[in-house]
Structure 1
Amino acid sequence: MKLLKTAAMIAGLSVIGAMGAQAEGLDELNPDVVERLYNPELLDPMQPIGASAFRDFVAKNPPPWKIGYASSYAGNTWRAGVMQELQDEIIPKWKELGLLDEVIITQSNLNDSTQIQQMRQLVDQGVDAIFVCCSNPTALNQTVKYAYDNGVPVFSLTGYLTSPYSVNSSVNYQVAGFELGKWMAEEIGGAGNVLVVEGIPGTSGSDSQDRGIKAGLASYPDIKVVGSIAGMWTDQVAQGEVQKWLATNPGKLDGIVVQSAAEMGVLRALQQSGRAEVPITIGGELGALCYWRNNPDYVSAVYQVWPPQNEVQLIWNIMMRTLQGQGPKIQSILVDPIRMTYEDIEKLVPADCNEQDPGWLRVAPEAWGLDSAFLDDFFLRPADPTKFLEK
């Protein structure tokens, strides 16, 4: 298992653009973290990294707190993984700690207007904080300000909101995408035709990663992107779209870069097409990892970009710290993507695994920014959030 920490590994990503001077607040962080995760030449130009509006925030109510989860989509394995972690692990734990009253969950099914309405209703219902996932980076901004004006901080996991009144957490998706594109180019020998399967266009996580993927592929002049389709981070959708593309594009194909969670659908589409097997990028879906476990020579590595259990645990930890007055220093807390080899997967995925398993691999908490030494650095007054009522 390898954290992708060295900016030099990603030389060339500057073709995407830079943000300019270091943002206020970054000078308070560990310089190594700033270099590898906040280098302006390696960031999505829209990624908000200014000083947080919640540096001196005080929650409007004492615990136990009422939390709103304004989910934008429920139709893929990743969202199911988040929901399972929330229901089975997070809610029972934090209720037992005396810090959580309830979590009110809404679903907007990718409709921005519906999500906006649901968020406003959550504020009016008296929640103490709201977290959202993978949403449009700008559409929610006025609603985030409405929440802020009513003492309700908004947190975004797996992608950013551009509002100065939100707190965001994720991998640096542009860097992660670059690594995926670069890896695919090298996997097929530096030359060939590649199909790109995006996530949900218009969301920050998808757009940032797609930009990085195409930059990584473009760093090899003999790589040609022969198609770009939307898999919607959903296996069934990606399977159908890839099947249609393969049927209407009979030319040579050497590889497919796909944003997880859709790799199982892409694998099925390839298998059913009758065409020669080509490498695809694999993320955290256990079914796809099982396929690799059973076929060791299929690819050389996989990349963990957004393991759902770890992602929701991270934003929850950040949210609880903020409600406790620990003061996040900056708007976006970023973590490292993880490269895993077959030897790593051999240890984590059993030999009797199921290639149809819709679950997700959970990575070690300390590898996803959940160790105190890493996360404490992002707060002005850091403390173990589980010990708040012991003071």
Structure 2
Amino acid sequence: MRMKIRFATLALSLLVASTSALADLKVGVSMSQFDDNWLTYLRESMAKKAKSEHVQLQFEDARADVVKQLNQVQSFISQKVDAIIVNPVDTAATRNITEAAVKAGIPLVYVNRRPDELKLPEGVVTVASNDLEAGTLQMQYLAEKMGGKGSVVIMLGDLANNSTHNRTKGVKEVLAKYPDIKVVEEQSAVYLRDKAMDLMSNWLLGGKEFNAVAANNDEMAIGAAMALQQAGKAKGSVLIGGVDGTPDGLSAIKRGLLAVSVFQDAKGQANGAVEAAIKLAKKEKVEQNVWVPYQLITPENVDSFQQRLKD
């Protein structure tokens, strides 16, 4: 009987030790900013994935400050975390972050936004989606709905991020095939709904006329739609496209405020980033660029994406 108790006690202690070892894996996460809707879904999905993997995440908000983000990474290094995940504030200003992590021998995963550096060193990977694809899918749909002619305004995101430039590049690559569609305005609303409302209101007050809006994200697309409604424009009279497929964006498509969006898989990117961090911490091989595909969201398939977010 005593022997059975000893074996049971030993088994229990081994289980506790094993669980503890798993939970001891600590990953520092620096987000460019907490008050961004889509990045909130990304952060929540990372937390959920980490919990299922018994990994401890320490989240920090860089508040759109490059220096603050570098300081956070340096703090993670001093804490001797097992890996670091960074959602960059500025994709052109990541070199110091990369160098600090590599020098410390700590694996680094960039999530959602790939650094501008053409080649990243060993032990540094990116989990993101191809933003060129997002712009292409969005504008191709709008161009076809416009019948290949008319005018469009482009709402740009944060100019410090290559996601803005690549999504816009995708839009313009499609427009190059449609010479009868003209760009009448192109300005930044830094990915924010209220800034987009102000920008759209200014365009309307300035007498600008257009048939479509190609916005770099859903928040700006919704802001544009709200400003158009306030100006007395009939719902659907201007085709509006977004990117991300947020719950608000999907709801706006259902209500006829947006014509289209492009689904950016927050859960897919989150899972990929956490999995990459775990593998790198365990000295396992990981592809240097993990691409999570974009998908077109239209009024015809929006229900399936809403269900997907619930699952």
Quick one: which amino acid aligns to residue 75 of structure 1? D
State the shift of 1:316 in Å: 1.3
State the shift of 1:348 in Å: 4.6
Quick one: which amino acid aligns to residue 77 of structure 1? N
| Residue 282 of structure 1 pairs with residue 242 of structure 2 | yes
| Residue 255 of structure 1 pairs with residue 215 of structure 2 | no
Distance 1:154 1:246, change over 3 A: farther
Matches within 5 A, 1:1-391: 63=22, 64-87=24-47, 89-95=48-54, 100=55, 102-161=56-115, 162=117, 164-165=120-121, 166-248=124-206, 250-262=207-219, 263-276=221-234, 277-283=237-243, 284-295=245-256, 299=259, 301-304=260-263, 306-329=264-287, 331-349=288-306, 362=309
Higher mean Cα deviation, 281-290 or 215-224?
A: 281-290
Distance 1:84 1:336, change over 3 A: closer
Tell me, in whole angstroms, the C-alpha distance in 2 between the residues paired with 1:117 and 1:86: 22
State the shift of 1:190 in Å: 0.8
Tell me, in whole angstroms, the C-alpha distance in 2 between the residues paired with 1:134 and 1:145: 14
State the shift of 1:347 in Å: 4.2
Tell me, in whole angstroms, the C-alpha distance in 1 between the residues paired with 2:230 and 2:160: 30
Corresponding residue of 1:370: none
Query: Please, which runs of 5 or more residues in structure 2 have no aligned partner?
Result: 1-20
Secondary structure of the corresponding residue to residue 309 of structure 2: coil
C-alpha RMSD of matched pairs (Å): 2.4
Secondary structure of the corresponding residue to residue 160 of structure 1: coil
Secondary structure of the corresponding residue to residue 68 of structure 2: helix
Tell me, in whole angstroms, the C-alpha distance in 2 between the residues paired with 1:184 and 1:134: 30
What's the TM-score once normalised by structure 1's chain length?
Answer: 0.66
Quick one: which amino acid aligns to residue 301 of structure 2? D
Structure with greater helix percent = 2
Percent sequence identity is 20
Tell me, in whole angstroms, the C-alpha distance in 2 between the residues paired with 1:287 and 1:160: 25
Higher mean Cα deviation, 284-293 or 164-173?
A: 284-293
Higher RCO, Cα 8 Å, sep 6+: 1
State the shift of 1:322 in Å: 2.2
Tell me, in whole angstroms, the C-alpha distance in 1 between the residues paired with 2:86 and 2:195: 23
Partners of 1:73 and 1:109 within 8 A in 2:
yes
Give the count of matched residue pairs. Answer: 282
Partners of 2:138 and 2:296 within 8 A in 1:
no
